Amino acid sequence: MTDPARIVIGCEQLGGTDWGELDPVEVSAAISHAFDAGLTIFDTADVYGLGESERRLAKALGPRRHAATIITKAGVRWEQTGGRAKTYKDNSPGYLAAALDASLARLRVEAIDLYFIHWPDESASIEETLEFCNGAVQSGKIKAFGFSNFADAAVRHGAERGMSAIQASFNLLSSAEERASFEKWKELGLHRFGYGALAQGLLTGKYDLASTFNGDDRRHRLPHFRAENWPRTVEALKAIENLAADAGLSVGQSAIQAARQSGFVDHVIVGVKNVRQVDELVQLDSHRLNMSDLAPLYEGIGWQKA
Looking at residue 190, its pLDDT comes to 98
Looking at residue 303, its pLDDT comes to 40
Looking at residue 298, its pLDDT comes to 58
Q: Quote the number of domains for the chain.
A: 1
**DSSP for 122-160, written as a single string:** TTS-HHHHHHHHHHHHHHTSBS-EEEES--HHHHHHHHH
Looking at residue 19, its pLDDT comes to 59
Residue 240 within a domain: no
255-280: b (≥16 Cβ within 10 Å) or e:
bbbbbbbbbbbbbbbbbbbbbebbeb
From first to last of its 306 residues, the chain has per-residue pLDDT tens of 568 999 999 999 898 876 567 788 899 999 999 999 999 999 999 999 999 999 999 999 999 999 999 999 999 999 987 778 899 999 999 999 999 999 999 999 999 999 999 999 999 999 999 999 999 999 999 999 999 999 999 999 999 999 999 999 998 888 888 999 999 999 999 999 999 998 877 788 776 656 555 555 555 555 666 667 777 777 778 888 888 888 889 989 999 999 999 999 999 999 999 999 999 999 999 888 888 767 656 543 344 433
Residue 243 within a domain: no
Residue 19 within a domain: yes
- For 278, the domain range is 6-201+252-292
What pTM did the predictor assign?
0.90
Looking at residue 236, its pLDDT comes to 74
d(C-alpha 186, C-alpha 2), whole Å: 14
Residue 212 within a domain: no
Residue 207 within a domain: no
Residue 211 within a domain: no
Residue 229 within a domain: no
Please state the length of the chain.
306
d(C-alpha 78, C-alpha 36), whole Å: 34
Return the number of other C-beta atoms located less than 10 Å from residue 301's C-beta: 17
With a CB cutoff of 8 Å and minimum separation 6, the contacts of 247 are: 254, 257, 287, 288, 289, 290
Hey, what's the torsion of the CAs at 63, 66, 68, 72, to 10 degrees?
Answer: 110
Residue 110 within a domain: yes
- Look up the CATH number of the domain holding residue 141: 3.20.20.100
Q: Is residue 106 a contact partner of residue 57, using CB atoms and an 8 Å limit?
A: no
